[in-house]
Structure 1
Amino acid sequence: MTGVHVRSAEPRDHADVAVLHHREWGGPYVVVHDTQYDLRELPTLVAVDGAGELAGALVYRLADDGLEVVSLAASSPGLGAGSALLAAAEAVALAAGMGRLWLVTTNDNLSALRFYQRRGLRIVAVDAGAVDRARRLKPTIPHVGEDDIPLHDELLLERRLTPPGGRP
């Protein structure tokens, strides 16, 4: 995406980010690793295109020696906003002294698996049945996901970070 700029979300971004989260997750709540998060309460990076329009948003938290990507969504996938947001999240993690960038996705999300693995993240764990458990907190999670794949499991992906001139 030519001319995309990533910055911390500002109050003027909240409505557009809310629309994006409603499209992607059905609202501001996501459930990962048996925890429900309100995306409105976590730090958010936004990608803005040259016209000043929201191109994507990445919600994160700093925990467990790393930056967890809680949500990453692009307004129009495939144009580079996701890559720019992920690179900015890595910079945030390194600035905070974190040793890894990590996230959870679901077993059906083949496009996300492709995206993240192409950017150096590796599958390090599978939590069988995690999505089934998550439905207790968020019953609107579908039973069948992308490509008609039954939706049951969470996959943990991570990439160890190396500070510039340092060791991982």
Structure 2
Amino acid sequence: MGDRVWPADDEGGGRVAPIQVRPAEPRDEADVAVLHHRAWGGPYVVVHDTRYDLRELPTLVAVDGAGEFAGALVYRLAADGLEVVSLAASSPELGAGSALLVAAEAVARAAEVDRLWLVTTNDNLSALRFYQRRGLRIVAVDVGAVDRARRLKPTIPYVGEDDIPLHDELRLERRLEPMPRPR
């Protein structure tokens, strides 16, 4: 992955600086920690009845054209695909989320897995819109998953975006075409 510059998505019609995505380095720890605290209340998330310490998983970071930290994607790679465990951007209009998702897809393809997947919550309409516009499809609903997750992380709120009660997880995925083999 190195210094590859991934294209940013200019969904809002504004000017978008080029976004560079690379594996996280020690110098990124503070920025990533602040972002995870803002997004999740700290380094721990609970998805599909599993508690993850985001500091222990591979992380991609996005920086804008000026070299400023713009977002992070934490993932788990397994035989059944690449799971996006966390995706958060400092400023949604920069295109960092889109660039991070493109980079995660490249990681998945390089690992020869054919699925990129993630879980979001029933209240997170902005995430559902974002992911579906990028080709992910809802493939499962785990009714009551967030209610169960509160046993592992009691700080999960009961009401989410737009005052929607927070109860369920939705799994989204996109099947990936294999990388072309060199001839």
Q: Do these two structures clear the TM 0.5 threshold for a shared fold by scoring above it? A: yes
Determine whether 1:31 maps to 2:46.
yes
Letter in 2 for 1:87: V
Determine whether 1:70 maps to 2:89.
no
CA distance in 2, matches of 1:110, 1:63: 27
Partner of 1:11: 26
* Aligned pairs for 1:82-101 within 5 A: 82-101=97-116
Letter in 1 for 2:43: P
Percentage of pairs with the same residue? 86
TM-score normalised according to structure 1 size: 0.97
Partner of 1:142: 157
RMSD: 1.0
Partner of 1:42: 57
Partner of 2:130: 115
How many residue pairs align between the two structures? 166
Partner of 2:140: 125
CA distance in 1, matches of 2:180, 2:134: 20
Letter in 1 for 2:141: V
Which whole-Å deviations, capped at 9, do the CAs of 1:51-98 have from their partners, x for residues lacking one?
211100000001251000000000001221000000000000000011
CA distance in 2, matches of 1:64, 1:104: 17
Identify unmatched segments of 5+ residues in structure 2. 1-15
Partner of 2:70: 55
TM-score normalised according to structure 2 size: 0.89
Partner of 1:21: 36
Shift, 1:41, TM fit: 0.2
Letter in 1 for 2:174: R
Secondary structure class of the residue paired with 1:164: coil
Secondary structure class of the residue paired with 1:47: strand
Secondary structure class of the residue paired with 1:162: coil
From 78, 92, 95, the equivalent of 1:80 is 95
Which 10-residue stretch deviates more, 72-81 or 32-41?
Answer: 72-81
Identify unmatched segments of 5+ residues in structure 1. none
From 6, 14, 17, the equivalent of 1:2 is 17
Structure 1 residue ranges (4+ consecutive) displaced by more than 4 angstroms after TM superposition: none
CA distance in 1, matches of 2:146, 2:40: 14
Shift, 1:21, TM fit: 0.2
